Amino acid sequence: MTVEDQRRAKAIGVEDYLSKPIDARDMVAAIENALNRQRLMTAEIERNMDNLRNRIVGLLQHEFRTPLTFILGYAELLATSESEGLNAEEMRLAASAILAGGRRLQQQIDIFLVLAELQNHTLDPNVVESINAWSLWSDILRDLAGSEQLGPLPVELNDQNQDVNIKVDVRLIDEALRQLYGYVQRIHRPDATVIKCSVEHHFPFAGLAIYCDSVEPPPPPPAAHLEHANGRAATVSEADMDLGLTLAQSVASVHGGKLTIEHSAAHTVACTLWLLNAEER
């Protein structure tokens, strides 16, 4: 039996039956349990995708309208002002606001396109690869630093769990982690001093985490988000109120994982993208 066969046998719980006298009934039960776990995981992913479809419409009404309001408001101000009505500084502020609103709108459109892709997405074996989780975090932070997107706070990457591997669609995980980082950047308070990134390991899951020591508390859910499309009451989480977090949560679900967001009374936050270890796939 090859090393790969042994790994797979261990993952589904039949390794003992391949190296010891076989009890056929116990071996069949172990295989059936493994198949049942896979069916449950598939059903959970489908439920999460259904929830995603229900959330997108409500999110888009807010996420697209806010930057568009900035753009239209300042553009109208410029259009209706007389040629001598605004000084150079006011013109600069209006142009900066329009530019910022346009960039934010472009970001939201890019997120929406990924969310639309995820609605009917299944992991393609040809693009899923085993990758070191710590190295992936390090590469993303290095790229953010190179493009001047790290922001004003110092960023630390904890050196623990550098040997943990995950089996993922790297493009989707990269996008999800960037969205988590951007979210923490948006909600950190002026007195924040550091952002810490790390890889957590709680078998069978690996967590790619980001922590900030001072952030704004999560806002209460708007009334428009309190119902599903079918009119039933829904439990609304923080991830349901931000398009970037919704994307990260959906990417985690596609991989059989989850997104957790933990706020403390001291106004800290820890966002963690939990994914199955490579050995568990």
Domain locations in the chain as residue ranges? 126-280
- Measure the CA–CA gap between 275 and 201, rounded to whole angstroms: 10
What pLDDT shows up at residue 224?
41
List the structure tokens of 20. 């010891």
- Measure the CA–CA gap between 26 and 7, rounded to whole angstroms: 19
* Adjacent-strand bridge partners of 166: 131, 277
What pLDDT shows up at residue 228?
36
**Exposed / middle / buried, residue 253 (Cβ in 10 Å: 0-12, 13-18, 19+):** buried
pLDDT averaged over every residue in the chain: 78
What pLDDT shows up at residue 114?
76
Q: According to the 3-state scheme, what is the secondary structure of 28-77?
A: HHHHHHHHHHHHHHHHHHHHHHHHHHHHHHHHHHHHHHHHHHHHHHHHHH
CATH class in words for 126-280: alpha beta
Determine the distance from the C-alpha atom of residue 175 to the mean position of all C-alpha atoms in its chain, rounded to a whole number.
7
> DSSP state, 219?
P
What pLDDT shows up at residue 63?
67
What pLDDT shows up at residue 173?
95
What pLDDT shows up at residue 219?
64
| pTM (2 d.p.) | 0.64
Residue 63 has a CB neighbour count (10 Å cut-off) of 23
| Contact indicator for 30, 17 with CB cutoff of 8 Å | yes
pLDDT, tens only, 65-104: 777 787 888 888 777 776 566 777 888 888 888 888 887 7
Mean pLDDT by 10 residues, the chain (281 residues): 54 52 70 76 63 60 73 81 72 83 79 73 76 96 88 94 93 93 92 96 93 85 40 48 82 89 93 84 54
Q: Which long-range contacts (CB under 8 A, 24 or more apart) does 39-44 make?
A: 41/256, 44/253, 44/256
| Contact indicator for 52, 250 with CB cutoff of 8 Å | yes
What pLDDT shows up at residue 45?
60
Pairing of strands 258-263, 155-157: unpaired
